[in-house]
Amino acid sequence: MATVEITADNFRDHVSDKGIVLLDFWAAWCGPCQRFGPIFEKASEKHPDITFGKIDTDAQQELAAGFGITSIPTLYAFRDGVIVYSEPGAINGKQLDSLIEQIEALDMEKIHADIAEQQANAAS
């Protein structure tokens, strides 16, 4: 699967679904972003079951600001609508593959239970 362009208009449609979504916050003028782009694209071809989204921080300033993006590239990972990873900086292909394996191995039932408990504690 090729990467998809993520905008403020289609953001929720992509990240609220079941499954894994990786988001690359980038800009055309950013050298590290240009080096990471092909790595991200190659991973998208190896993992057709994962949504790989690219967010142009110049075109989507409000979305980037909402995530507090101050350094690019920044990679975010969602699984079943939950942010499970966020880190600025380019990574290599092996690191990205390892990250994907770790995200796939997460116990999402436990994570959702932990979130529900935290919300219940905050409400009381």
Residue pLDDT, tens place only, 14-25: 888 789 999 999
Count of residues for the chain? 124
Structure confidence at residue 106 as a pLDDT band (50, 70, 90) = very high
Residue type, 1: M
Can you tell me the distance from the alpha carbon of 24 to that of 37, in angstroms, rounded to the nearest whole number? 8
* 49 burial level (CB within 10 Å; 0-12, 13-18, 19+): exposed
Task: Tell me whether the omega of the peptide bond preceding residue 32 falls within 30 degrees of 0, making it cis.
Answer: no
What percentage of residues in the chain have a pLDDT greater than 90? 81
The continuous run of DSSP H or E covering 43 comes out as helix 31-46
- Check 30, 63, 69, 77 and give the catalytic one: 30
The tens digit of pLDDT for each residue in 29-60 reads 999 999 999 999 999 999 999 999 999 999 99
* Other residues' Cβ atoms within 10 Å of the Cβ of residue 71: 11
Residue 123 pLDDT level (bands cut at 50, 70, 90): confident
Domain boundaries defined on the chain: 4-123
Q: Which of 33, 43, 69, 90 is catalytic?
A: 33
pLDDT score for 73: 97
What CA–CA distance (Å, rounded) separates 20 from 77? 7
- Whether 30 sits among the annotated catalytic residues: the reply is yes
How high is the pLDDT of residue 1? 56
Instruction: Examine the pLDDT at 66 and tell me if it is beyond 90.
Output: yes
Q: 4-123: which CATH number, 3.40.50.11540, 3.40.250.10, 3.40.30.10, 3.30.300.30?
A: 3.40.30.10
33 among known catalytic residues: yes
